[in-house]
């Protein structure tokens, strides 16, 4: 692993020399929970069921990479959401979810540079669809919660691409999109905070950790440890 170097407070690089040009890249893929937004949505939904502590403990272990089977950990957490109303999810979105600092600025800068923007999340379509529309993101992939009569069943539904968006699926979508665009993975940026982001970060030409878990910071080419997402623009001109 190359030597890490803090080029300004809270901004660490390893494995390359800045500045790069934003126009060197054609694609950027973002994680959602705790990256583009300030919360872990599954934990906040669980709060409505009185199970936040239990669910958040599983989420934290999964993000640290202490749980090897992400899909099973997500199924366990979603099962604990059974009985939560869709109205409670609306409250999470309206009252608890906020974009992280610099999110809108960075996405807008990427789009202005002609980049395609992806949102790939181990979270849920209920939230990714809204963030997609809010930030004018090009495409998303995330998990679909099953609801019957306005109440969660504790299960997720399969989608045309598969069952659960885990780390491997995030990497797959990044590479599929590169292929569709006729670009190499070296022209892609991947940005996340948890262990399930490492597969796509490892495939991308530039990997960025945002206020991330230690294992993710250690492997990323850029680690933003303080300040907003738009600090990436300090390196990409």
Active site residue 31: yes
| Choice among 33, 166, 193, 197 that is catalytic | 33
Six-digit token pair at 171?
Answer: 């990497």
Distance CA 202, CA 190 (A): 8
Distance CA 165, CA 234 (A): 31
| Choice among 31, 43, 166, 197 that is catalytic | 31
Active site residue 47: no
Catalytic annotation, residues: 31, 33
């Amino acid at each position: 692993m190359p030597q890490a170097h803090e080029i300004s407070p809270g901004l660490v690089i390893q494995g390359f020399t800045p500045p790069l040009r934003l126009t060197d890249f054609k694609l950027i893929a973002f994680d959602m929970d705790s990256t583009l937004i300030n919360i872990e949505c599954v934990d906040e939904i669980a709060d409505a069921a009185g199970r936040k502590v239990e669910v958040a403990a599983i989420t934290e272990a999964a993000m640290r990479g202490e749980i090897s089977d992400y899909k099973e950990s997500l199924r366990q957490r979603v099962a604990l959401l059974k009985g939560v109303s869709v109205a409670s999810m609306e409250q999470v979105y309206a009252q608890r979810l906020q974009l992280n600092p610099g999110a809108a600025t960075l996405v807008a800068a990427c789009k202005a540079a002609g980049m395609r923007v992806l949102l790939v999340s181990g979270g849920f379509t209920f939230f990714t669809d809204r963030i997609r529309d809010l930030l004018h993101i090009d495409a998303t992939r995330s998990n679909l919660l099953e609801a019957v009569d306005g109440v969660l069943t504790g299960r997720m539904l399969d989608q045309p691409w598969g069952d659960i968006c885990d780390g491997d699926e995030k990497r797959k979508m990044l590479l599929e999109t590169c292929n569709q665009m006729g670009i190499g993975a070296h022209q892609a940026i991947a940005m996340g905070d948890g262990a399930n982001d490492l597969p796509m970060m490892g495939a991308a030409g530039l990997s960025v950790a945002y206020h991330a878990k230690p294992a993710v910071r250690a492997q990323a080419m850029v680690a933003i440890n303080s300040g907003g997402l738009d600090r990436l623009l300090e390196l990409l001109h």
